[in-house]
Chains A and B, each alone.
Chain A
């Protein structure tokens, strides 16, 4: 089943023609409308009119998360704000989250692309789709919502959290498709078990999971315990959100919607293209975005491209499942967090010193996040009310700004390991 067969199955020759035309128009637009790109091209003495082939894209500069942050909030928008109908956000490396915008046309195209991913994952208009991803500034909830409505499915916009209620609604509304993070799917499976509900008491058929790395054993466990067919999908807010790539039922990699995104794989260190088929950092250029086009965006996600034809008939190349990150970004319960962000927020409270360690683990199937913080030397740890105040202030600050509930623990001064070079800030004990 295809959503837009004429696009998804077009010949590579036709695709490259469309990609070049769209790339050239996008470059003309950003050079005219976005001062950041105009200046960047001028600084590098680069004439975007000289981009005459898809390979020429390599001559263009990268856009990084730092660039997006430096232009907070609207500096990279290519249309006036009055043409923007939606704003979403994603966590930044420090401090404020980055803002992305969509025109009416962007929202329409976004819906179509998510509809493709949903269709590839087996969702049809007859499905009852439970979207247990966070609705809000995060692109996941609304992204899938619009795509599922576009298909004509019945959408349950339940958002994330409250597992018992999720299960009740899943049973009562006879949900047939589940959309959430893979770890949350397993958490729901645990909840089912604790409630004594068997998988055959559910009507679930398929599940689409993403927003965090997962593995084949996790897939098998989800499929087995929920009695569904599970597919992986990929999105990143700075580029669009969900709808960038998704697995078909062959489940041998995620088809990238290449008529709307130009994908490259580069060496994360040198920025040079890696040999075909090798793993590196995924770099994406938007080909049709109006409000927030990005040129060669460094996603930070590691993957490789699969060019062999897929049995499903789609001609779009696939990206392998993302095994991890090129940078130090952490994904905690589907939320993106940079250690630098945690540090900045903690120091802002003025209560603690920059000696801390983030410990990630899994309790059951959900991530747990703990921060060990050294108490200031001057501080007398036996004053319990004082330490409670520090812990509570830091915890609240992180929860409000990052949306992650860290457990904060004060430890004695000079007890955390000091290394010669970069401090080992993160201990990740999670296994997939």
Chain B
């Protein structure tokens, strides 16, 4: 095993006055899909926002490819190869699908951008044929699942090595969630992308993940291989909606 691509050690983060993340240590290796699960207010989104530079940690170490990330501006983090797909997708509704995608390349150098706008755009359309079909349509007219694909496609335009995905399944129908998660798995398998996935739909996330961490009131309570977490009774009761007495 090589050194982890992304490593958090003893991270403490305050969200306003709330101690939202407490002494969290976790790591993601190159090519891994790691799921971060937990209920509302467990600190998942705060943790992701801290990695992508939107929030500064109060204490602890945060490193990417061995270099310190803490305190770097979000655009610097993107340039290092870490793309954040925020919760609620946040596509630019009035803009066309294609323009949304092109915007994703803003952080690249001029040369890389030219390349991205030709090759990468074509590849993303290949991966998500529905986006190609609707390339001229306003993003706001897409369905929830299509918007999620667009948000992921836009993040890919920045040519990341790792994706931070915040609740990609939120508000989507189960069948659509399955489709999105299949795409996430495909990104890892075909592009070798590393994925840190925050998800309330623990089952869907753990099914495609290699490992997982369960956050509760800001702390890691359980961690381990995804298969073990799926079988863990604590996790089942709290996050998989399975009542053991039934």
Contacts and interface: CB of A to CB of B under 8 A. Distances in A.
Interface of A: 6, 10-11, 13-14, 17, 20-22, 24-25, 28-29, 32, 49-52, 79, 82-83, 103-105, 108-109, 288, 290
B15 to A, nearest CB: 17
A20 B11 CA distance: 13
B127 interface: no
Nearest to B8: A21
A105 B222 CA distance: 12
12 contacts: A17-B25, A17-B27, A20-B9, A20-B25, A21-B25, A21-B27, A24-B25, A103-B232, A105-B228, A108-B228, A288-B224, A290-B232
A32 B1 contact: no
B7 interface: yes
Contacts of B26: 21
B118 interface: no
Contact of A82 (B1, B232, B244): B244
Given A24-B23, A49-B22, A83 B220 contact: no
A262 B231 CA distance: 24
A52 B231 contact: no
Contacts of A25: 220-223
B172 to A, nearest CB: 30
Contact of A24 (B7, B216, B220): B220
Contacts of A82: 244
Contacts of B7: 17
A25 B214 CA distance: 9
B10 interface: yes
Nearest to B10: A52
A105 B231 contact: yes
Contacts of A14: 1
Interface in B139-182: none
How big is the B interface, by class? Answer: 20 to 34
Given A21-B27, A49-B22, A49-B23, A83 B1 contact: no
Interface of B: 1, 3-4, 7, 9-10, 22-23, 25-27, 216, 219-224, 228, 231-234, 244
B25 to A, nearest CB: 5
Contacts of B224: 288
B159 to A, nearest CB: 28
Nearest to B4: A17
Nearest to A84: B233
A79 B23 contact: no
**Taking chain A's interface residues, is the majority helix, strand, or loop, or is none over half, making it mixed?**
helix
A11 B220 CA distance: 24
Contacts of B23: 24, 49-52
B233 A49 contact: no
A104 B231 contact: yes
A20 to B, nearest CB: 6
Q: Which 7 A-B pairs have the closest CB atoms?
A: A83-B233, A52-B10, A28-B219, A49-B23, A21-B25, A25-B220, A25-B223
Nearest to A20: B25
Residue from the set A25, A52, A104 with the largest chain B CB neighbour count within 10 Å: A25
A5 to B, nearest CB: 11
A29 B222 contact: yes
B219 A49 contact: yes
A105 B223 CA distance: 13
Contacts of B228: 105, 108-109
A25 to B, nearest CB: 5
Contacts of A103: 232-233
Contact of B1 (A10, A21, A50, A51): A10
Contacts of A13: 3
B220 A6 contact: no
Contacts of B22: 49
A9 B131 CA distance: 45
A114 B104 CA distance: 50
Contact of B220 (A10, A21, A104, A109): A21
A104 B23 CA distance: 29
Contacts of A104: 231, 233
B124 to A, nearest CB: 33
A59 to B, nearest CB: 14
A26 to B, nearest CB: 10
B80 to A, nearest CB: 21
B225 to A, nearest CB: 10
A51 B219 CA distance: 13
B4 A22 contact: no
B223 A79 contact: no
Given A24-B25, A25-B222, A52-B9, 19 more contacts: A13-B3, A14-B1, A20-B9, A20-B25, A21-B26, A21-B27, A24-B23, A25-B221, A25-B223, A29-B222, A49-B22, A51-B23, A82-B244, A83-B233, A83-B234, A103-B232, A104-B233, A105-B232, A290-B234
Nearest to B24: A24
B237 to A, nearest CB: 9
B226 to A, nearest CB: 13
A14 B4 CA distance: 8
Nearest to B60: A52
Contacts of B223: 21-22, 25
A103 B232 CA distance: 9
A32 to B, nearest CB: 7
A226 to B, nearest CB: 38
B65 to A, nearest CB: 15
Contacts of B221: 25, 28-29, 32
A6 B1 contact: yes
B214 to A, nearest CB: 8
A11 B3 CA distance: 9
A24 to B, nearest CB: 6
